[in-house]
Amino acid sequence: MQSFQQDCVALALRQYRRGHTSRRTLLRGLAALGAIAAGSEAAAQAERQLVMVNWGGLANEGFGKFYGAPFLAETPGWKVAQDSTGPATGRIRSMVESGRTTWDLCDSSASGANLLGKLGLATKIDYSIVDRGNVIGPGFALEYGAAPYSFSSVLVYDSAKFPTGPTSWADFWDTRKFPGTRLLRRDATCTLEAALMSMGRDPAALYPVDTRAALKRVLELRRNLVMWTNGSESEQLMRTGEAVMGQIWHTRATVLEKESNGRFKFLWNQAILQPGIFVIPKGNPGGEMAQRLLASMLAKPEPQVGLLGLLGNGPTNPRAAALVPAELRRFNPTDPENAKQQVVIDGAWWGENYQAVNQDYIDAVTG
């Protein structure tokens, strides 16, 4: 299953190929990739060096420029190496359990942070170093991780099919008023929340998720449903008309809206806002300095705005919204006008329940 982080990388590479990102930016990313090609273990063992692990491609450029460089400016003598081999939860677990941790800071998720913490595989965030005031809310500063970026799962629709479009998940489920095929991710996260909201459940009281009711609601769409497994597929299924509306990541919805001159539209109303959580693996070689790097990533709003422009990731510093250029505010998930319409995902609940609930979901939609 493709993660949101991996999809941002794929999307950025496509934007380069279409001439929307400079060659210089791409080459910097490739140079960063080459710099760690000898392996993250050697990098982690280098003196006074922190290894930040991402999902590859232009994330090297983005994280290096907007996270690593500001930290280096205030911490002489240290380096931040970008490792693009992918910090999957299973890889972090294998590394820590083997006693050979070579990573310092990893791009994960709220549910991943809670799971790793529960298993004793992640380091607690030291909030005497990391300032909770530098994030927009408690869901972005967890016990075992904190979020320097955000993203959302939104409702997108084809306005050529529906000049008067849907306004909520209730409309998404209304196949009489809005006939046609629906598009959902082959993953329970955010799908079940949308299902509950479509039934009139209070967005402020979705957790714990009533999985039985939500799964039953999803199955009502079975005859009008296609599933996506990666971001490019979700975009393509909308573009070709195989689906008339869907729940997809806001970054893909942004591309659809821009490149279709507004034919494809998306809603912030009842979207699910998710923190892009970074975790510190247990026994990381950089020790406390990883906490200080994370603190730096959260503290500076300007680099987060830069990352929004490059990869589409939303800022999480509360001072960032005022710095976002006017043309990007519509597409910023944490813009105050956009954020207040959304539900913040409960990463703690998903951390406890994801594996079992997701399997039930997959069995239901494919059975």
- Tell me: do 77 and 181 sit in the same domain: no
Distance CA 253, CA 265 (A): 7
- Tell me: do 255 and 321 sit in the same domain: no
User: How many CB atoms are closer than 10 A to CB 315?
Assistant: 27
Number of H helices, E strands in the chain: 17, 10
pLDDT average, residue stretch 56-62 = 81
Note the pLDDT tens digit of each residue in 297-316: 999 999 999 999 988 999 99
- Name the residue among 10, 363, 350, 362 with its Cα closest to residue 186: 362
- Tell me: do 180 and 279 sit in the same domain: no
- Name the residue among 307, 309, 365 with its Cα closest to residue 60: 307
Lowest mean pLDDT among 75-89, 145-159, 254-268: 75-89
- Tell me: do 167 and 104 sit in the same domain: no
Strands 145-158 and 264-279: antiparallel
Residue 9: the pLDDT is 62
Residue bearing tokens 């095929």? 181
DSSP lists the bridge partners of residue 156 as: 246, 266
- Tell me: do 362 and 227 sit in the same domain: yes
Domain extent for 69? 4-150+274-343
DSSP lists the bridge partners of residue 165 as: none
- Tell me: do 19 and 100 sit in the same domain: yes
| 188: its two tokens | 């329970």
Give the amino acid at 186.
R
DSSP lists the bridge partners of residue 155 as: 247, 267
User: How many alpha carbons lie under 13 Å from residue 175 in its C-beta half-sphere?
Assistant: 14
- Tell me: do 282 and 302 sit in the same domain: yes
Query: Is 47's pLDDT higher than 90?
Result: no
Note the pLDDT tens digit of each residue in 189-204: 999 999 999 999 999 9
- Name the residue among 148, 126, 144, 154 with its Cα closest to residue 136: 148
- Tell me: do 30 and 145 sit in the same domain: yes
What domain count does the chain have?
A: 2
Record the pTM: 0.83
Residue 58: the pLDDT is 76
Average pLDDT in the chain: 90
Task: Say which CATH number the domain at 161 has.
Answer: 3.40.190.10
Question: 10: Cβ–Cβ under 8 A, 6 or more apart, which residues?
Answer: 57, 230, 231, 232
Q: What 3-state DSSP class applies to 125?
A: coil
Note the pLDDT tens digit of each residue in 146-156: 999 999 999 99
Query: Is 44's pLDDT higher than 60?
Result: no
- Tell me: do 220 and 286 sit in the same domain: no
